[in-house]
Structure 1
């Protein structure tokens, strides 16, 4: 199902996990900074599977403040999370999720050096090649798809809690089954997950269709300043820290805003600049097929997929947009 991962790689990763659980080793699971549904869902799904397998010394974490975006607050497995400053300093086994580069692990990237062994689960074409055992499949629709196969290969039966976490990962990175990597195999996996008893309507409403009125007003304001550059076939807009403060909203509400401009038919590339500091921006990019936005993102220090990528931009918003135009 996950092309690009050999049987030898699967066997080595599964053996490493079984060995760690049998020896009651310490296991640390880490996903990328500012985790989305795929990062959290794949990590918490596997974490619960390892507990079911018999792991008793396990932690899950991510870099930065231990803040869970509201759409993910009801997810099973959150009790396994610890703050990054409480994470094991020298775990026997490290497993990372949805991080294409070491930098995405923030201050926790040193665990790649201090851990006894490491396994990487990722699906980004821009994966930089770290970790000992690499379960990396750029053609997979989500890291959760790889995580689901790992759970199967570990011999752990899917229960409702594991399935809900994996389902969140799948629907997040497929845009609720709208994106091009949504294969028949992805639909078959979704069917298996739903068969455990989860409510797909309730989960999807929570992830995609639940916004406070303040967030709705914020979206309207940010979208109203969108700019269409016809010659570049580019549409873009900016969300500032002042916007968040004015509408009393946390930063995570901006994660779905890119969809408000990516549908622009006159543009092939959509960009959303989200301010994280006075001269620092988290840039989300989406393509409609004519341009490979991952090449742009990689050129600017980030990564991603052909139709979805991102990077951290520095300088003013206009300066970051000039960098994007030049790369395009």
Structure 2
């Protein structure tokens, strides 16, 4: 399902936000800078308006190190401190309620729920759904919402919005008309774009290098997958994660996807909470050698219980390594 900007959706979202006196903002599990940046940007605006607001995500237990310097981080609370009732619950950058993990039950504790997202596969699980599948990031959708609301984007809010924009566009490799215009607008508030990008994308502990050495040794190429487009995959096991955080684990797919002989990449990441549970990241390319020639990995992910974008998606798998790899190969055909 593909949706585009709808003025009525923005007006409905603005009305709900304006009326609410208590708001819970929920980010997805294993949070990235787009979901956290969106959540904190919205929370900063709500706090400025005198609204009682909390931001949270279900897992892992702590915010990734590279995001702790984002403005508004003090508004984050642990799952146990998320109230069961609120005037409005807002889910940001979540394609489905399942992406909220253990906090999905908070959606039932509000008379209205607002979903702000840019995933093509979004299931529209809110009472109000502000979905723009043409947007490059959820923070860019939120920027439009703040404009429709008449709320100022100051430096703190811009910092959060830029964090999601720079990461979800892969340092502006994947852009659309208007992306650079938004970036320029955010930078004009005085934020340091280069430093934000460095902290979020170019900062890792030394243990990351040791993890990569182990994980990349598991990489395998399936050249005949999907009619010869090819699949490359790697496994991140529990023992590989001892020295690193979730953001280091998430970064692996961006290395694996550079393989020229495969148009589709996958990284299987073993859950720290359940050894039989694996989070799977999928990527595909739209041009160049080994290109996926129209392969929509969000369709593959949706068929396996997940979702995402055409060229970046994910899902959760359960079972032994050989079983989950075989299931993906079969789904690709």
Q: TM-score, normalised to structure 1's length?
A: 0.94
Q: Which residue of 2 aligns with 1:50?
A: 46
CA distance in 2, matches of 1:87, 1:239: 31
Q: Which runs of 5+ in 1 are unaligned?
A: none
2:190 corresponds in structure 1 to 197
1:224, distance to aligned residue in structure 2 (A): 2.8
Aligned residues: 318
| Other-structure match for 1:7 | 7
The structural deviation recorded for 1:53 is: 2.5
| Residues 52, 156 of structure 1: 8 Å contact kept | no
Q: Distance in 1 between matches of 2:25 and 2:253?
A: 29
Q: How does 1:1-328 map to 2 (within 5 A)?
A: 4-20=4-20, 25-55=21-51, 57-179=52-174, 182-232=175-225, 233-245=230-242, 248-276=243-271, 277-289=274-286, 290=292, 291-328=295-332
Partners of 1:126 and 1:29 in 2: CA distance: 21
Q: Give the ranges of 4+ consecutive aligned residues of structure 1 lying more than 3 Å apart after TM superposition.
A: none
Distance 1:147 1:317 in 2: 39
Shift of the alpha carbon at 1:3? 6.5
Contact 1:53 1:156 in 2 (8 A): no
1:15 CA drift (Å): 1.1
Q: Hey, what's the Cα distance between the residues in 2 that align with 1:191 and 1:54?
A: 29
Secondary structure at 1:184 match in 2: coil
Asked whether the 8 Å contact 2:27–2:56 carries over to 1, the reply is yes
Once the two structures are TM-superposed, the CA of residue 317 in structure 1 deviates from its matched residue by 1.5
1:224-271 CA distance string (max 9 Å, x none): 3211111121101101001122xx223331111111111111101000
RMSD of aligned Cα (Å): 1.4
* Cα distance in structure 1, aligned partners of 2:61 and 2:237: 22
